[in-house]
Amino acid sequence: MRGAREIAAVTDATFRLHRGECLALIGESGCGKSVLASALLGLLPGNARTEGHAWLSGGRAGDERLGGGRAGEERPDGGRADRGGDRLDLLAADERTLARTVRGRRIGLVPQSPAAHLTPVRTVRSQLRETLRELTGRRDGEEAAAARAAFPADHLDRHPHQLSGGLAQRAATALALVGDAPLLLADEPTTGLDRALVDRTVDELRAQVDRGHTLLMITHDLAAAERIADRVAVMYAGRIVELADAEAFFGDPGPRHPYARGLLDALPERAFTPIPGMPPELGDLPAGCAFAPRCPRAADACAAVPPLTDGVACHHPRSDRA
């Protein structure tokens, strides 16, 4: 909500995240990616409203899954969003449940700004110790917790302001891993890092996936997404417009949605051709397909919002040859 006006920051976001994989949610800044992350963790502002479901399944390390949809509804992948087993609807959970059983324990957050996430007046060791005690009941183990995120033990007694950007990111990642949460949510974890630190951070997160964790990585860094992801979800103006296997998306045949194709073509190592125009304001979306005003393929059919069908929300998606 903004004043008396309601703004749909995220609409019809439907995807399923399987255990032991990384899904990269990509798109330009302001498209709704971080709003989605905040909704999953119950961290939206008080005047925000959510609808639908975000089912969190499992509960053991390596056995967590995240899926959207309506209760009891068949999904395109054949799953059912029912209330069986130990599934939890994150969007319906109260603050007590989220604080005591979800955050840190079932979902670990790797934040966008580790400097803001870390307590500035306490050492990394003391923050790890407190988190270990809270989530696991242990009163030691800081060195082992730091090692999981490749944080050097000889920096544990430093304060956050004494760390480089890369080390601060590793400290925040170490805190996210303390509870051995099966699902990790990384919200723009490489912002402000140079390319070498981006690659190192991404590789460390990928190592967690390879150890059995599940990762939802929200990023506008396509190189980082290509390096880490098993699948890619592309968001534009609050909607997911393409879901694809990462290898096919970044390689052959490439993206099928014109916007997703434009994102890759804008990269310096590719065509270096910018997408014309600007993304719309979420509070002033055009009728029909939100990308139509910028799209070279726009036609009369684009006056209607295209559904996400076979992994792409477009009335005229690109074929393997177009």
Q: What is the tens place of the pLDDT at every residue in 237-260? A: 999 999 999 999 999 999 999 999
pLDDT at 73: 35
The domain segmentation of the chain, as residue ranges, is 1-51+183-195+212-322
pLDDT at position 57 is 87
More confident residue, 76 or 238: 238
pLDDT of 84 strictly over 60:
no
- pLDDT per position as a tens digit, 44-75: 998 999 999 999 987 544 455 676 643 333 33
Confidence band of 82 (pLDDT split at 50, 70, 90): very low
Give the span between the Cα atoms of 17 and 94, in whole angstroms.
23
pTM of the model: 0.87
Top-confidence range, 77-91, 170-184, 189-203: 170-184
Say how far apart CA 51 and CA 59 lie, in whole Å.
24
> So what's the pLDDT on residue 72?
30
Residue 155 pLDDT exceeds 90: yes
Q: If pLDDT is split at 50, 70 and 90, which confidence band does 136 have? A: very high
Predicted pLDDT of residue 76: 34
Pairing of strands 239-245, 22-26: unpaired
Q: Which residue has the higher pLDDT, 73 or 86?
A: 86
> How far is it, in rounded angstroms, from Cα 153 to Cα 123?
12
| Topology (CATH level 3) of domain 1-51+183-195+212-322 | Rossmann fold (3.40.50)
Supply the pLDDT for residue 61: 44
39 CA to centre of own chain: 11
The percentage of the chain sitting over the pLDDT mark of 70, rounded to a whole number, equals 89
Segment of 8-17, 63-72, 255-264, 280-289 carrying the highest mean pLDDT: 255-264
Whether the predicted pLDDT of 288 surpasses 70: yes
Query: Region 102-130: what's the mean pLDDT?
Result: 92
Whole-number average pLDDT of the chain: 88
pLDDT of residue 228: 97
Residue 175: partners with Cβ closer than 8 Å, 6 or more residues away: 117, 118, 127, 128, 131
Asked if residue 290 has pLDDT above 90, the reply is: yes
| Contact status, residue 72 vs residue 80, Cβ threshold 8 Å | yes
Nearest one of 7, 11, 92, 31 to 56, comparing CA atoms:
92
